[in-house]
Structure 1
Amino acid sequence: MRLLIIGSKGFIGSHCMAVLNAHHTVYGCDVVTDYVSANYFQIDATNADYKEVFKAQQFDICINCSGAASVPDSFIHPFRDFSLNTLNVVKMLEAVKEVQPGCKFINLSSAAVYGNPVTLPITENTPVLPLSPYGLHKKQAEEIVKEYAAFFDIQTCSLRLFSVFGPGLRKQLFWDLHTKIIQSDHIKLWGTGNESRDFIYVEDVVNAISCVIEKADFKGECINISDGIETSIKSVVELFQQVHFKSFDFTFDGQQSPGYPVNWRADVSKLQSLGFKSTISLEQGLQKYIAWLQQEEK
């Protein structure tokens, strides 16, 4: 199959390019200049014209890995976040509808749409109550994805990614931990340590996307993407402490950051019904991530 990955220079997009290229003909699309790659489309960062991309090449699948991915920044620049996470999805789907209506569309959403769920694990039917502009804009994008499936017969689905990590990620908990450790042996973290997340290694995300490509219904549905294992922040920092190449100790400040949920654990039965099995544990993933960090330090 011919795959188009929009946001191919980003964290998840670049891993999709590397892994999916072994089984498909993969084309990249991003705002970054690339004079080397043959199958690559550069688009305007301020006024992307996706129709031109779809006119240039036939695709079986379009995977949208683009967008902003910062909860704090969405409070500071809400319109920018809306433009990248919601408005651009409309532009992509309009291009699909008008130029290649037979192309399936996969939109990478976020577990941020759930906010603070009342019960765990979180199923796809759990009420969505976002805590941030970022989460709300991802929710709006999901509604647009459903709209194009329901009213225009475009084959679509949204993937609700939980806490993705791996080589190339220069933000969020593990990157923040590393940057603080490099500066000091004694670090302070927000929260109490009892907060929890459901982590998934980036290559397993790509494996999940492969399962979706092969077996999903593409009727506008949402699918949780994670390992289905709840881990407290204190526990994961202790694990990071064991495998990091520099020793450190840590404390928590007891403060809650606006826009962030307290506890997360995904129900991944729908994903597993598509054939997904996690292949990389949290500890194995952290070892790979820290090996990458060591390479970056050289």
Structure 2
Amino acid sequence: MTQPIWITGGKGFIGRNLAQYISKKSQTVRGLGHGFWTEDDFAPWGFKSWLNAEVDFSSLSHLASSFGLPNIIFHLAGGSAVGPSIQNPYEDFQRTVETTARLLEWVRQHAPETRVVGVSSAAVYGAGFTGPISEQAQSTPFSPYGFHKAMLESLFASYRETYGLKLGVARLFSVYGPGLEKQLLWDICQKLEKANDGEVLLHGTGRELRDWLHVNDACDLLWRMATTPELPQVINGGTGQATSIAGIAALVSAAWGGRNNIVFSGIGRKGDPASLVADITRARELGFSPKITTDMGIEEVVRWYRARSR
């Protein structure tokens, strides 16, 4: 059955992939967020409409009056990385925390039966972990990005407990895939392109461990979460597999080809923990099982990058 679905922050990497994933299930998806898009731009991603606007009472009410109330809202609007949050913490706060507060208050007043899935981040966990992290682990973020995602989660918990709203949070780990023009894989590909069988220098030690989740698998998890009979309050989004940054760099280099030599500065960046790997027991209880292995996903990203550079 068709369910009216809204995605805030729909122009972002996860948002547009999620819209495409959901539209293939014959669902009606409407997008809201920053950025001008013509129909020729947004339609291929599966959106039936796109509203270039802030996530506030005016824009949400405009969508409702034009198309009716949604059954599900995926809330992806907000900050997207540690680095920009350190450079502009108040802007990150506005994008993540203020946007979330406005959305939940609008839902409380106008759409209390709507399910809302908020996208958070493994950055809420902070540092000090050496193995898979469960949702019950103590959250000790140490970057503005992590703190603001934790505030998003607190707002979801407050509105769920106080008003009985149908709210859940997905803590996504390292989401990647073709089309992501930032972060580690993009950085490595850019450096390999310039290196021409030379040396490629990356920050950190290379021993940092991350849980790499392909965007297609992330979309599958978000959809399962939103449509399960009992909406989970908090759930990790990952694979449960740890891969070092050096291992990721080696996979990218192998897929790229050539004789590049990847070296690490040995200096970690502030806000980068040594290990962030998900315990995905709860996700598996929803029937979730990652389909795309890391080596398959890395090869896909490299093919996409090289194709777009021609």
- TM-score bin (small chain): over 0.9
- Ranges in structure 2 where 5+ consecutive residues have no aligned partner: none
My pick for the range that moved more, 223-232 or 26-35, is: 26-35
Q: Which residue pairs with 1:228 in the alignment?
A: 240
Over the matched positions of the two proteins, sequence identity in percent amounts to: 28
Give the distance between the partners of 1:127 and 1:161, measured in 2 at CA.
16
For the pair 1:42 / 2:51, whether they are aligned, the reply is yes
Match of 1:141 among 152, 156, 174: 152
Match of 1:51 among 50, 54, 61: 61
Give the distance between the partners of 1:46 and 1:6, measured in 2 at CA.
7
- Report deviation, 1:76: 1.5
For the pair 1:27 / 2:27, whether they are aligned, the reply is no
- Ranges in structure 1 where 5+ consecutive residues have no aligned partner: none
Give the distance between the partners of 1:189 and 1:51, measured in 2 at CA.
46
Deviations 1:67-90 (A, max 9, x none): 121212111211100011111011
Q: Which residue pairs with 1:6 in the alignment?
A: 8
Match of 1:130 among 134, 141, 146: 141
Letter in structure 1 aligned against 2:49: Y
Q: Which residue pairs with 2:256 in the alignment?
A: 244
Deviations 1:141-174 (A, max 9, x none): 0000111111111100110000000011111110
Give the distance between the partners of 2:117 and 2:133, measured in 1 at CA.
21
Deviations 1:76-112 (A, max 9, x none): 2111000111110111111111111111000000000
Instruction: State the secondary structure of the residue aligned to 2:279.
Output: coil
Q: Which residue pairs with 1:89 in the alignment?
A: 100
Letter in structure 1 aligned against 2:236: N
For the pair 1:207 / 2:220, whether they are aligned, the reply is yes
Give the distance between the partners of 1:31 and 1:253, measured in 2 at CA.
36
Aligned length: 297
Q: Is the 8 A contact 1:223 1:271 kept in 2?
A: yes
My pick for the range that moved more, 255-264 or 24-33, is: 24-33
Letter in structure 1 aligned against 2:64: F
Letter in structure 2 aligned against 1:9: K
Match of 2:207 among 190, 194, 197: 194
Task: Output the TM-score relative to the length of structure 2.
Answer: 0.91
Give the distance between the partners of 1:246 and 1:6, measured in 2 at CA.
41
Q: Is the 8 A contact 1:109 1:159 kept in 2?
A: yes
Q: Which residue pairs with 1:256 in the alignment?
A: 268
My pick for the range that moved more, 114-123 or 157-166, is: 114-123
| C-alpha spacing 1:78/1:235, structure 2 compared with 1 (3 Å) | same
Letter in structure 1 aligned against 2:48: N
- Report deviation, 1:216: 6.0
Deviations 1:170-223 (A, max 9, x none): 11110010111122231111111111100010000001112102226336x111
For the pair 1:218 / 2:228, whether they are aligned, the reply is no
Task: Output the TM-score relative to the length of structure 1.
Answer: 0.95
Give the distance between the partners of 2:203 and 2:130, measured in 1 at CA.
23
